[in-house]
Amino acid sequence: MQLKPISQQVVAIVGASSGIGRETALQFAKKGAKVVVAARSQSGLESLVSEIKLFGGDAVAIVADVSEFDQVKAIADKAVEVYGRLDTWVHSAATGILAPFDQITPEEFKRVIDVNLNGQAYGAMAALPHLKREGRGALIHISSVEARRSIPLQSPYSASKHGVEGLLDSLRVELQHEGWQISVTNVMPSVINTPFYNKVRTKLGVKPTGVPPYYQPSIVADAILYVAEHPTRDFIVGDVGKVLDVMQRVSPALVDNLLLLIGFAGQRTDELKSEDAPNNVFEPIAGYDTVEGDFGSLTIPTFTDWLDMNPPIKWGAVAVAAALGLGALLGGLPGKDA
C-alpha cells in the first residue's frame, strides 16, 4: 500500500482548535498539505487558519460537533468542495470527566462516549466514501494508551478509547478483505501536555492532571505525519506508553497494583477547582485554543518513537540483541567435552 507524499495531500483534521489537533494541522500545512480544520471552537479555528496563512499554508475551517453525524459529514464534504478530494482523515476530538464512577451521571457518561467513540465512528463513515473514490488514503484515529490500559477516575474516557481500538480493528480487516488500499491507524499517545486537563470536567475538587511524566504534543504530530505517508497499524506515542502496554500484557494485576499506588494522588494537583467550573463536555469553552497545556515542566523526551519511524534500524537492533542473547545463552551451555 502506497500513500501520497504529504505535500500532495488534502487532509481533514478534526479536533484542531487546540492540543494535538492544532499542532498536527500546523505541521501538515508547513509540509505543503492542504488542510481542512474542524472543531467546536470557532475562535480557535479562526486563529489557527490565520496562523497557517501567515507562513503561506493553505487551510479552511468548519465548525462541527463530532457527536452529530451531519456535522462530521460536512467536514469531509468541505474538503471535496474546496480542494476536490480527501486523502487523509485525522480524528483527534475528545473530551473527558475525571471522577469516581459512582459520581458520573448517565448523561455525562453518554456524552463522553458520543464524542470520543461515536464521533470517531462518524468520522470514518464520513471519510471512507471519499477515500474509496480516490482508491487510497489514510484514516488516522487518535485514541490513547488508555485503549490498552484503563486508569481509575477516567472510566468513560477509558471505555471510549477501548471502543475506538475495537472499531478500528474490525474496520481494518473489512477494508483489507474488500481490497481497498486504505490505511487504518490507531495512534495512542501517552500523557501529553495539551489543554485537555484545563478543559475537561472534574469532580475531584481540584484541577486534574495526567499521571506524569508528560510528553509534548509535537511528538504525537510527528507520529501522525509519519503514518500519513507510511501505512501503520498501531503507533503508541511515548516510551512510558509502550512500557505500560508491555506491563499490561505481562501482568494486568501488576498494573492494577501500580495504579493503586500512583493513579489517584497522581491525577490531582493542589489547585482547587469546582465541578461547576467551565468545561468542554457539552459546550466549547474559550481561552484554551493553544497547542500546549500547563505542564511543560513535567515533560520528557521520547526515544523509542524514532525507532518506530525507522523500522529497518529498529528491527536490525532487535535482531542484533536477539543474536547476542542467543550467543550468550549458547556460550553458557556446557560443551560436549565437559
What's the average model confidence in pLDDT over 178-202? 98
Rounded CA-CA distance 132/113 in Å is 27
Distance of CA 23 to the CA centre of its chain: 12
DSSP assignment of 69-80 equals: HHHHHHHHHHHH
* 148 in Cβ contact with 194 (< 8 Å): no
**pLDDT value, residue 1:** 85
157 belongs to the catalytic site: yes
Rounded CA-CA distance 8/6 in Å is 5
Rounded CA-CA distance 184/31 in Å is 22
- Nearest by Cα to 42 from 64, 24, 12: 64
| Grid cell in block for residue 40 | 467546536
Which among 83, 122, 157, 215 is annotated as catalytic?
157
**pLDDT value, residue 311:** 79
Q: Which residues contact 110 (CB under 8 A, 6 or more apart)?
A: none
* 27 in Cβ contact with 104 (< 8 Å): no
Specify the residue for cell string 475551517: 61
The answer on pLDDT for 142 being more than 60 is yes
Cis amide leading into 334 (omega within 30): no
What's the average model confidence in pLDDT over 159-176? 98
Task: Kindly report the length of the chain.
Answer: 338
Task: Flag the least confident range among 23-37, 62-76, 300-314.
Answer: 300-314
The percentage of the chain sitting over the pLDDT mark of 70, rounded to a whole number, equals 93
**pLDDT value, residue 322:** 59
Rounded CA-CA distance 106/314 in Å is 45
Q: Which residues pair with 201 in a beta bridge?
A: 97
- Residue 243, H or E segment: helix 239-250
Q: Which residues contact 222 (CB under 8 A, 6 or more apart)?
A: 27, 305, 309
Rounded CA-CA distance 35/228 in Å is 13
**pLDDT value, residue 338:** 40
What's the average model confidence in pLDDT over 145-168? 98
Give the count of beta carbons closer than 10 Å to the beta carbon of residue 294: 18
The answer on pLDDT for 232 being more than 80 is yes
Rounded CA-CA distance 316/322 in Å is 10
| Grid cell in block for residue 236 | 503508541
Q: What is the pLDDT of residues 262-318, one digit of tens each?
A: 999 999 999 999 999 999 999 999 999 999 999 999 999 999 999 999 977 765 655
The answer on pLDDT for 335 being more than 70 is no
The percentage of the chain sitting over the pLDDT mark of 90, rounded to a whole number, equals 91
Rounded CA-CA distance 214/333 in Å is 44
**pLDDT value, residue 161:** 98
Give the global pTM: 0.92
Cis amide leading into 213 (omega within 30): yes
Rounded CA-CA distance 98/103 in Å is 10
**pLDDT value, residue 29:** 98
**pLDDT value, residue 84:** 98
Rounded CA-CA distance 169/160 in Å is 14
